[in-house]
Amino acid sequence: MSFTAPILIFLCWISASSASLGSDYLPKAKDVTWTSLNFKSILKWGPTPSNYSYTVEFSRVGSDRQRNPHCIRSLDTECDLTNDLNDLKAFYTADVLSEPLPGSSSDLVELPFTQSRKFCPYSDTLIGKPEFTINLDGNKTIMIHIRDQLTALHKDGKPLTIRDVFRGDLKYKISYNKAGSTGKKEEIVDGDEVVMSKLDKGQSYCFSVAAYIPSRKGDRKLGKWSLPQCSPAGDRSIIEEYGLLTVGTAVLVAVTVLVIVVILTVACCCRRTQKGKQVDDSEVTAHV
C-alpha cells in the first residue's frame, strides 16, 4: 500500500493538471490576412475553432481599439470590416483574440492574440476587372467607353464608384494590338471615354483595360486586366481587306474559269450544229 499510494497521487495530479491546461489553453489564430476587392475589406485567419471562439479588435494606428459586434466570441474565421474602416487613407491593424466559448470562463490573465499587418483601404484594396465597349464614330475612328466599377462603399444610400473614391487619381491603362498581331502597345488615359485617334482606320484592334492608380506603390498601382475585346474592321475596300496579290489571283482564276466555260460552250454548240447538218444531208440523200 505504501508503494501504490504515491503512484495514485501522482496520476491524480497529472489528470488535474491536464484538465486545468485543457480548460485554460487557447490556441492563437494563424495566417491573419486582409483581403480587399473594390473596398470590400475582410479580415481572415485560421484554424476553425473547436472548444473556443474568436474576437476581433481593430483600430486606426495610434487610436483606441474597437470591436465589430458581429465578430465577438464568434466561431467564424473571418470578419467583414468594410463599414468600420471609415478613413480610407488611414492605416489600420487588427488583433484576433482567442476566447472561451460564450458562457464559459477562463483563468487566463491575458488572452492570446495574433496581430495583422497594417492595412490601408485606399492604397491596398485591389481593383477588379473593368467592363468596356468599343464603337466606331462617323469617321471610322475607334472609341472606347469604360464603365467605372461600383465599390462596396455607400454614401446617402447609394453605392460609390471607384471614380467617386479616387477622383483625379484614377486613370486607366489600355493595352492593344492589331488583330492577328502579337506586338502590344500601352496607353494611359485620364477619362472613361477614349478616342483612339492614332490607330490605322479600317483596321481591327484588340483591347484590354485595367484601372491605374499612379499614387500607389509597386504592383498595387494596376488593377485586374479586363477580358480582351476586338473592334470591327470597318468599311474597307476588298484590296485593303485581302491584299492586292490575293485579289489579283482570285480575279485571274475567275477569268480563266470563265474562258474555259465559254470555250466548252462554243465547242458543244459547234458539235451540235455539225451533227444537225449531217442528219439533214442524210435525209436529202434518202429522198433522192
pLDDT at 17: 43
Sign of CA dihedral 21, 22, 26, 30: positive
Enumerate residues 6+ apart whose C-beta is below 8 A from 93: 58, 59, 61, 115, 116, 117, 118, 119
- Going by pLDDT thresholds of 50, 70 and 90, the confidence category of residue 283 is low
> What are 92's strand-pairing partners?
60, 119
Mean pLDDT of 211-239: 85
Mean pLDDT of 176-195: 92
pLDDT at 240 over 60: no
The full set of domain ranges for the chain reads: 24-124, 131-240
pLDDT at 15: 43
**245 vs 164, higher pLDDT:** 164
Q: Check: CB of residue 145 under 8 Å from CB of residue 121.
A: no
* Topology at the third CATH level for domain 131-240: Immunoglobulin-like (2.60.40)
Cα separations in angstroms, 5 against 1, 9, 12, 110: 6, 6, 11, 37
- pLDDT tens digits, 111-138: 999 999 999 999 999 999 999 999 998 8
pLDDT at 167 over 80: yes
* Topology at the third CATH level for domain 24-124: Immunoglobulin-like (2.60.40)
Topology match between the domains 24-124 and 131-240 = yes
